[in-house]
Amino acid sequence: MASNQQSSIPSVDRGPADETTPETALETARRQLGRAASHIEIDAAALERLKHPAKVHEVTVPLEREDGSVEVFTGYRAQHDSVRGPYKGGLRYHPEVTRDECVGLSMWMTWKCAVMDLPFGGAKGGIIVDPKSLTDDEKERLTRRFTHEIRDVIGPTKDIPAPDMGTDPATMAWLMDAYSMQEGETIPGVVTGKPPVVGGSYGREEAPGRSVAIVTRETCEYYDYPLEETTVAVQGFGSVGASAARLLEEWGATVVAVSDVNGAVYDPAGIDVAAIPSHDEEPEAVTSYAAAADVTRLSNAELLELDVDVLVPAAIGNVITADNAEAVAADIVVEGANGPTTFAADTILDERGVHVVPDILANAGGVTVSYFEWLQDINRRQWTLERVHEELEAEMIDAWSHLREEVERRGVSWRDAAYIVALSRVGEAHEVRGLWP
Ligand code: GLU
């Protein structure tokens, strides 16, 4: 990229060696940005801009509880960048949601959409609430009121929310309904991840797990691990982990360990993953499987250190840190969750020769099928599940192959390759559009 003023960020940032308090998503996101910028020529003004979110909306959301009392919750919508298209990203209901977390996650959405070459920017939002403490009725009213509070800043050409931790297709249907009622017309394209009956896409729920499985298959093939001889451990049996594990098993891999919040099960001969309902379908299913089958029980931390070919962390962020990165025994790590590896841990894994396929590629099937959903909503025409699978497969192989070329050409890690591709696309768009006014 041509520019007379170039970035001068040093490339030697290893992240903090002591991670008693793991870094925030925002700190990790900023470090990754600096590292990617050191590999390419990017306009310094564009880089400076990208270190900051364009806007962060903070709202308070009053909710009348079932007992008649009123509780006020805090919600956010962080909008990082929209140079390539409308802001796009999930809504998280979780007690540990913070402003900074939303900003960091919104930056990752900018890169995720750019890696997939989707015409979207990055956003993320959430409410500080434990969704398990709400009745369905309370969750619905909270969602409707939150939608009202952020109504001016979302829309099918402005910012399009989607499910994330603690939210699901039902939440998206309430959001779509609340927005549409206020606008006076049905606007399905304001949100993705809706049930198909109201304009959602077939295959959207399973899509992040499907993309994890596709890139795992491609990466295994590339490094000469035939799936039939490959062992896999999956942390997290929510929608991402369960879908990925089921597909990998179907395609011939041996899934030797899975886990949920209650712990892990391990069987070197292989777990019958098809027999275990996902955490969303039946929260205690992994524990019940452990009680019924002759398998070893492990902690979630022990699962991460199993001697397997492929490790898929698909639960929460910051699980592979400077403290356990040396002990990760897998040869390939495919990130199903957003941000499961801290910056310092990533450096350690890279130095040890572990191939880490980053979240912004691996779980990008979610936002890619969100894009298909948005297209279907605009055209008022639903695609078949078969078509969604075919197009997702093509998009994932395309993006994976593009990163592979960068990995080979520059001799960098998969994560660096992903950031280089994303930052080049976003940086170039900024440079061409210029700074206004
Ligand atoms: N929350 C998902 C993610 O982190 C989906 C975002 C979307 O579909 O907009 O990728």
Inside any domain, residue 43? no
Inside any domain, residue 236? yes
Query: Which numbered atom of ligand 1 lies nearest the CA of 192?
Result: 8
Instruction: State which H helix or E strand residue 90 sits in.
Output: strand 87-94
Residue 182 has pLDDT above 50, yes or no: yes
Catalytic residue among 88, 124, 139, 194: 124
124 Cβ closer than 6 Å to some ligand 1 atom: no
Sign of the torsion formed by the C-alpha atoms of 129, 133, 136 and 137: negative
What does the pLDDT read at residue 284? 83
189 Cβ closer than 6 Å to some ligand 1 atom: no
Domain limit, last residue, from 138, 159, 187: 187
Sign of the torsion formed by the C-alpha atoms of 431, 427, 400 and 258: negative
Do residue 175 and residue 218 come from a single domain? no
Do residue 302 and residue 220 come from a single domain? yes
Q: Determine how many CB atoms are found less than 10 A away from the CB of residue 122.
A: 29
Inside any domain, residue 391? no
What does the pLDDT read at residue 8? 37
312 Cβ closer than 6 Å to some ligand 1 atom: no
- The one-letter code for the residue type at 370 is S
Residue 9 has pLDDT above 70, yes or no: no
Do residue 139 and residue 214 come from a single domain? no
171 Cβ closer than 6 Å to some ligand 1 atom: no
**From ligand 1's centre to the CA of 74, what distance in Å?**
21
What does the pLDDT read at residue 71? 98
Strands (DSSP E) found in 150-227: 159-163
| pLDDT tens per residue, range 252-273 | 999 999 999 999 999 999 999 9
Residue 3 has pLDDT above 70, yes or no: no
Q: Determine how many CB atoms are found less than 10 A away from the CB of residue 397.
A: 14
Q: Determine how many CB atoms are found less than 10 A away from the CB of residue 236.
A: 27
Q: What would the mean pLDDT of 2-17 be, rounded to a whole number?
A: 50
Query: Which numbered atom of ligand 1 lies nearest the CA of 163?
Result: 1
Q: What is the CATH number of the domain that holds 151?
A: 3.40.50.10860
Confidence of residue 290 (pLDDT cuts 50, 70, 90): confident
Q: What would the mean pLDDT of 237-252 be, rounded to a whole number?
A: 96
Q: What is the CATH number of the domain that holds 339?
A: 3.40.50.720
**From ligand 1's centre to the CA of 317, what distance in Å?**
15
Inside any domain, residue 17? no
DSSP code of residue 156 = T
Query: Which numbered atom of ligand 1 lies nearest the CA of 364?
Result: 10
Query: Which numbered atom of ligand 1 lies nearest the CA of 91?
Result: 1
Whether 112 is catalytic: no
Sign of the torsion formed by the C-alpha atoms of 9, 122, 237 and 243: negative
Split into its structural domains, the chain has a count of 2
| pLDDT tens per residue, range 131-176 | 999 999 999 999 999 999 999 999 999 999 999 999 999 999 999 9
Query: Which numbered atom of ligand 1 lies nearest the CA of 161?
Result: 9
3-state SS assignment for residue 206: coil
| pLDDT tens per residue, range 294-352 | 899 999 999 999 999 999 999 999 999 999 999 999 999 999 999 999 999 999 999 99
Inside any domain, residue 65? yes
Beta carbons within 8 Å of 245's beta carbon, 6+ residues apart? 209, 232, 234, 237, 255, 258, 273, 312
126 Cβ closer than 6 Å to some ligand 1 atom: no
* Distance of alpha carbon 336 from alpha carbon 221, whole angstroms: 19
Inside any domain, residue 288? yes
CA distances from 368 to 37, 206, 393 (A): 25, 12, 10
| pLDDT tens per residue, range 343-390 | 999 999 999 999 999 999 999 999 999 999 999 999 999 999 999 999
Do residue 338 and residue 211 come from a single domain? yes
What does the pLDDT read at residue 17? 63
Domain limit, last residue, from 126, 153, 187: 187
Per the structure, the complete domain to which residue 156 belongs is given by 52-187
Residue 280 has pLDDT above 90, yes or no: no
* Distance of alpha carbon 276 from alpha carbon 345, whole angstroms: 31
**From ligand 1's centre to the CA of 299, what distance in Å?**
28
Do residue 250 and residue 335 come from a single domain? yes
318 Cβ closer than 6 Å to some ligand 1 atom: no
Do residue 225 and residue 178 come from a single domain? no
Do residue 174 and residue 316 come from a single domain? no
**From ligand 1's centre to the CA of 27, what distance in Å?**
20
Inside any domain, residue 380? no
162 Cβ closer than 6 Å to some ligand 1 atom: yes
Tokens describing residue 47: 């880089």
Do residue 171 and residue 88 come from a single domain? yes
Q: What would the mean pLDDT of 69-78 be, rounded to a whole number?
A: 98
Lowest mean pLDDT among 45-49, 199-203, 252-256, 261-265: 45-49
Which residue has its alpha carbon closest to ligand 1 atom 9? 89
Domain limit, last residue, from 357, 378, 409: 357
Confidence of residue 20 (pLDDT cuts 50, 70, 90): low
Do residue 174 and residue 222 come from a single domain? no
Do residue 137 and residue 216 come from a single domain? no
Do residue 57 and residue 181 come from a single domain? yes
What does the pLDDT read at residue 11? 47
* Distance of alpha carbon 3 from alpha carbon 101, whole angstroms: 32
**From ligand 1's centre to the CA of 17, what distance in Å?**
30
Q: What would the mean pLDDT of 395-421 be, rounded to a whole number?
A: 97
Percentage with pLDDT > 90 across the chain: 85
Angle at the Cα of 96 from the Cα atoms of 95 and 99, rounded to 5 degrees: 120
Inside any domain, residue 5? no
Compute the mean pLDDT over every residue in the chain, rounded to the nearest whole number.
94
Residue 392 has pLDDT above 80, yes or no: yes
338 Cβ closer than 6 Å to some ligand 1 atom: yes
Do residue 177 and residue 211 come from a single domain? no
Q: What would the mean pLDDT of 44-57 be, rounded to a whole number?
A: 94
